[in-house]
Amino acid sequence: MAGPKIYGNDEERILRRIGAAVVVLWKDFPESQQSRIIRQAVSTPDRVRAIQLNEQITAFIRNRQKLA
């Protein structure tokens, strides 16, 4: 079940672009910052609940890095 909408459409578009930039630059971040970003992403309220979100985020970033 989806929760209340936290951000407007324009704000979500901006957040997607910022997130995309983080993924592109991921390998340049120190490991401590990578862990901090993932912890924050997991704890940030969202409209969609995901099971094992931490693992999903980590796998997504690793897969994107392989393609870069």
Q: What is the pLDDT along the chain (68 residues), one digit of tens a residue?
A: 455 567 777 888 898 999 999 999 999 999 999 999 998 888 877 655 655 677 888 888 888 888 76
The pLDDT value recorded for residue 1 is 40
- The count of domains in the chain is 1
Is residue 62 domain-resident? Answer: yes
| Whole-prediction pTM | 0.65
Query: For residues 62 and 68, what is the distance between their CA atoms, to the nearest angstrom?
Result: 10
The pLDDT value recorded for residue 4 is 54
Is residue 54 domain-resident? Answer: yes
The pLDDT value recorded for residue 68 is 66
- Whole-number Cα distances in Å, 38 to 8, 9, 43, 44, 63: 23, 23, 9, 10, 15
Is residue 68 domain-resident? Answer: yes
Is residue 67 domain-resident? Answer: yes
Is residue 2 domain-resident? Answer: no
Half-sphere exposure of 59 (CA within 13 A, CB side): 5
Q: Which domain holds residue 34?
A: 27-68
